[in-house]
């Protein structure tokens, strides 16, 4: 299917926080109480619409165990967005956020949009990390923040889509160089024909339907 842009996402965070479940909920709209362990990396894809444009999300879902960091580090390359996930019922997964963030900042391009996610918000009775703590951490490090539940689907759409909106805004502001694929953004076939005139006015829209 034709799309205007393709954004590469990476999902990171400690093992067992629900990264694969968030992805499954987002791409398939279902929840698996016991998900297979992720070894290395798995993939998801979905089309979303922002500002009337079709955007394809290509999502890299990584293994969370510390030992795999040296491998997953190479997957930051070319990511436009990252979902950094912790589990609100396990404080240690929140405590590790700083090292995840350092890793992400060091190995990605500086414009990568990072969304902090406190997952498992349905397990209120087992909560160990207050929502305010997540908000404070996000504010301090300049991240967007949301609490989600992969189980009930609460905020899952929003988390993925708001990240894309932020990336999209950065493109509009000219922060992202969309012609450099290392930024994790690819111009889709829908755009390709008008690509050469992209810098100028977009008046002479030809093929490609209602985009731009």
**Binding-site member from 29, 43, 98, 124 for another protein (CB under 8 A):** 43
Binding to another protein (CB under 8 A): which residues in 151-190? Answer: none
Binding to another protein (CB under 8 A) within 94-133 occurs at 95, 126-128
The backbone region for 208, taken as left when phi is positive above 0, alpha when psi lies in -120 to 50, beta otherwise, is left
The CA distance from 142 to 131, in Å, is 16
Round to whole Å and give the CA distance between 197 and 209.
16
> Minimum distance between the CB of residue 39 and another protein, rounded to whole angstroms?
4
Instruction: Please identify, using beta-carbon distances, which residue of 71 and 204 lies nearer to another protein.
Output: 71
Which residues have a Cβ under 8 Å from the Cβ of 30 and sit 6 or more positions away? 24
Based on the shown chain and the rule CB under 8 A, indicate whether residue 37 belongs to the binding site for another protein.
Answer: yes
Strands 113-119 and 81-87: parallel
Of these, 47, 71, 136, 175, which contacts another protein (CB under 8 A)? 71
Binds another protein (CB under 8 A): choice among 79, 84, 86, 89:
89
Q: Which of 2, 31, 35, 153 binds another protein (CB under 8 A)?
A: 35
Give me the residue label for tokens 């394809």: 56
CB of 94 to another protein, least distance (A): 9
Residue with tokens 């988390």: 159
Contacts of 18 (CB under 8 A, 6+ apart): 85, 87, 119, 120, 150
42 touching another protein, by CB under 8 A? yes
Q: What is the CA radius of gyration of the chain?
A: 17
Kindly state whether residue 198 participates in binding another protein, applying the rule CB under 8 A: no
* Residue 70 binds another protein, judged by CB under 8 A: yes
Contact segment (CB under 8 A) with another protein among 47-55, 64-72, 153-161, 195-203 equals 64-72
Q: In this structure, are residues 117 and 146 in contact, taking their beta carbons and an 8 Å threshold?
A: yes
According to CB under 8 A, which one of 18, 44, 134, 184 is a site residue for another protein? 44
Q: CB within 8 A of 78, min separation 6: which ones? A: 8, 109, 181, 182, 183, 184
Sites of contact with another protein (CB under 8 A): 15-16, 34-37, 39-45, 58, 63, 65, 67-68, 70-71, 74, 77, 89-92, 95, 126-128
């Amino acid at each position: 299917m034709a799309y205007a842009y393709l954004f590469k996402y990476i999902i990171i965070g400690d093992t067992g926080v629900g990264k694969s479940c968030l992805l499954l909920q987002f791409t398939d709209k279902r929840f698996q109480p016991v998900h297979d362990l992720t070894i290395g990396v798995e993939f998801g894809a979905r089309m979303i619409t922002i500002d009337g444009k079709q955007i394809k999300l290509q999502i890299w879902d990584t293994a969370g165990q510390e030992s795999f960091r040296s491998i997953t580090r190479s997957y930051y390359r070319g990511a436009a967005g990252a979902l950094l996930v912790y589990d609100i019922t396990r404080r240690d997964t929140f405590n590790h956020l700083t090292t995840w963030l350092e890793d992400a900042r060091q190995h990605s391009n500086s414009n990568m949009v990072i969304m902090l996610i406190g997952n498992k918000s349905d397990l209120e009775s087992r909560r160990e990390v207050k929502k305010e703590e997540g908000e404070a951490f996000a504010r301090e490090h300049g991240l967007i923040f949301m609490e989600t539940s992969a189980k009930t689907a609460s905020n899952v759409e929003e988390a993925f889509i708001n990240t894309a909106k932020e990336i999209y805004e950065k493109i509009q502001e000219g922060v992202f160089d969309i012609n450099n694929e290392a930024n994790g953004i690819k111009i889709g076939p829908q755009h390709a024909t008008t690509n050469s005139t992209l810098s100028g006015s977009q008046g002479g829209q030809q093929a490609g339907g209602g985009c731009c």
